[in-house]
Chains A and B, each alone.
Chain A
């Protein structure tokens, strides 16, 4: 699906792990069916988080040293095994940053049915207007004047003026495992729960929110 594996360093290499940690209100987000009650008027409950990370590359001094093949990862806060994936790197390969796309590129978006993390049964596909949902946050807050006080942010749009994929480049200190925090507090602080509690189609607002979404990925310290 993506370009061929860059195998110059692939012989006798090693595995490193890229680990994502969606953090909300100071700790790793735990999705728990039992916890869906909002009592306090200031409470903002997040009970769903999923997003696509794709086209992962490792970079050394602005040169790509490793490009993952078939690089599509659906992160889901509800299942921790989806939050980590391995990368095979060559011997003595070092890098100073990781680059990835939040979303799915336009070519893949028009290529028909696919399997694995791209299987359209994963709840990350718009059926009425073809395209993947790149980034999904849902929850509940009394601030929202909606049914069951729910807010729903489904960000996507693969083509034309409303293309919402965003590249993220993060510098790393060592050429070891990479731990990335997804700062959902930062996202929730910037969205408009009063005037825009539901966003589920491509457009200007999705573009603006995708910009916010791509800014909340940070290297864990």
Chain B
């Protein structure tokens, strides 16, 4: 009797051990993943306590990001306009095109380091990363769909049922969980290992060339007041003297605030990976960095609310332009651009 009892107890113990081992493996994707802030960087704006990262949620966000199921005709995914190999923007297109090859009015932004961004879009119309994806889903020139119908599609799809179950403990997709999953993946897209970063961290064997060093001095003297290191933006809205494109009539920030003082102001974009995020400006009007240099050198229109820093123009000699561009290319983060964690999920 006693021995039988003991046997039973041992069996139970073994069962518990096996279960515990198995469930540790199951639980691992649900463990919280820490968000690493690169050394010397400010604290992120995103409140991770409201949406703690886990591997399963990041994986679900990545699956959604690459899935054309989000668009009306199931042809357009987030990645259609935000490619990992080109710093998550739409290279070679001045204005991004979406569904039925319709063309929008803005150049797609590079989706990097968004945990630090206090707002989204060129005009700051979106106040929180979680809400950003709603805009392209609903926009008639982008995905031309309705988030409610997206959720309905996900709830009819077995692979999403299990992915939502893994990530959120509930196989029914909701708007909240859908949006927070996308945020999770986007938040992991951090670029902080360019040559510039390595030089700043004084890593062994890495140094600016003479021409890059001169370019960095030019940058600090003439660009850094808006493109503040280390994120290379101060997140302000500025009028940078672009002539109005009569075919777009885009008033920028004024369309959000209704304030005339905000006319033609757009977000100061980060310059990280700028070598690969062409074309440039909110409407992608400049295909090459040298055109951007010419704009700031002698192409600006003296709008009434032109940014103070740009009054008097940024006059650079031909040599200085070459130096500045050489420095800007040190902001390219090759490891980031090729990071398998960000590419199409296999």
Interface residues in B, total, Cβ within 8 A: 28
- From the candidates B129, B176, B256, B258, name the one contacting A114 in the complex (CB within 8 A): B176
Contact (A119, B176) CB under 8 Å given A112-B50, A203-B258:
yes
A147 CB, min distance to chain B CBs, angstroms: 15
Asked whether A121 is an interface residue with its Cβ less than 8 Å from the other chain, the reply is yes
Contact (A120, B147) CB under 8 Å given A112-B47, A127-B134, A127-B135:
yes
Please give me the residue from chain B that is nearest to A123 by CB atom: B148
Contact flags (1/0) for B34-56 with A, using CB distance below 8 Å? 00000000000001001100000
B297 CB, min distance to chain A CBs, angstroms: 35
Asked whether B325 is an interface residue with its Cβ less than 8 Å from the other chain, the reply is no
A-B pair count, CB < 8 Å, reads 73
Complex formed: what's the CA distance from A13 to B257 in Å?
A: 47
Contact A113 B147 (CB under 8 A): no
Please give me the residue from chain A that is nearest to B119 by CB atom: A130
Q: Is the interface of A mostly helix, strand, loop or mixed?
A: loop
Contact (A129, B174) CB under 8 Å given A112-B130, A113-B183, A121-B151:
no
Contact flags (1/0) for A195-221 with B, using CB distance below 8 Å? 000000011000000000000000000
Complex formed: what's the CA distance from A129 to B119 in Å?
A: 11
Contact (A119, B175) CB under 8 Å given A112-B50, A112-B51, A113-B183:
yes
Interface residues in A, total, Cβ within 8 A: 22
Complex formed: what's the CA distance from A131 to B126 in Å?
A: 8
Contact (A128, B151) CB under 8 Å given A112-B130, A115-B174, A203-B258:
no
Q: Is the interface of B mostly helix, strand, loop or mixed?
A: helix
Contact B129 A112 (CB under 8 A): yes
Complex formed: what's the CA distance from A112 to B119 in Å?
A: 11
Contact B176 A129 (CB under 8 A): no
Interface centre among B130, B148, B176, B183 (most CB of A within 10 A): B176
Contact B148 A121 (CB under 8 A): yes
Contact A110 B148 (CB under 8 A): no
Contact B179 A128 (CB under 8 A): no
Contact flags (1/0) for B170-182 with A, using CB distance below 8 Å? 0000111101100
Q: Which residues of B contact A120 (CB under 8 A)?
A: 131, 134, 147, 175-176, 179
Contact (A110, B128) CB under 8 Å given A123-B148, A162-B258:
yes
Interface centre among A113, A120, A129 (most CB of B within 10 A): A113
Contact B179 A130 (CB under 8 A): no
Q: Which residues of A contact B47 (CB under 8 A)?
A: 111-112
Complex formed: what's the CA distance from A114 to B127 in Å?
A: 14
B73 CB, min distance to chain A CBs, angstroms: 19
Q: Which residues of A contact B51 (CB under 8 A)?
A: 112-113
Q: Which residues of B contact A121 (CB under 8 A)?
A: 147-148, 151, 174-175
In chain A between 2 and 51, which residues have their CB closer than 8 angstroms to a CB of chain B?
Answer: none
Contact flags (1/0) for B253-295 with A, using CB distance below 8 Å? 0001110000000000000000000000000000000000000
- Shortest Cβ-Cβ A-B pairs, 8 listed: A121-B175, A112-B130, A113-B130, A113-B179, A127-B134, A115-B176, A127-B138, A119-B175
